[in-house]
Structure 1
């Protein structure tokens, strides 16, 4: 006896175009480190991460290993912690 499925036929998904990944930096390998500096103390011992906030704003997050300063910068300039929190809230 043939098996009959009650679920509708699924359409095949369209493949997304692959986006090239940005080069990754490194804290341990000098030749792969990006030249970023802390805005507070000037140290180059920072971790820098590119990310998109919940509202789609692309930002650079920088965390200093010397003075522990953390900052976010968008294309429009530096963002305060309150501005980052406002942009990351789900509505």
Structure 2
């Protein structure tokens, strides 16, 4: 039989996965309290990330005033604080 005519093995159906909601402008209904700390606009991109030292932070970038901010559970973080926590030891 030519390779194109060989039967394929039966595939098992994949389990349905529920994707987490995106936290950006594309799905405004899924954003929770995402607003610029400088101008109050809700036109922001918000990302959750972990810094090199393991600190979980929220990064918010405003599409109106271009303000960028980082915060942790302890409160707002400065750029210098972010850079210090992101250095490899």
- Normalised TM-score (structure 2): 0.72
Question: Number of paired residues?
Answer: 72
Instruction: Map 1:10-89; keep pairs closer than 5 Å.
Output: 22-89=20-87
Alpha-carbon displacement from aligned partner over 1:56-84 (angstroms, at most 9, x marks no partner): 00000000000000000000000000000
- The offset of 1:34, in angstroms, is 3.2
Unpaired runs of at least 5, structure 2: 1-18
2: distance between equivalents of 1:70 and 1:26? 14
Structure 1 segments unaligned to the other structure (5+ residues): 1-20
**TM-score, normalised via structure 1 length:** 0.70
Root-mean-square deviation (CA), in Å?
1.9
SS of 1:61's equivalent in the other structure is: strand
Instruction: Report which of the two has the higher share of helix.
Output: 2
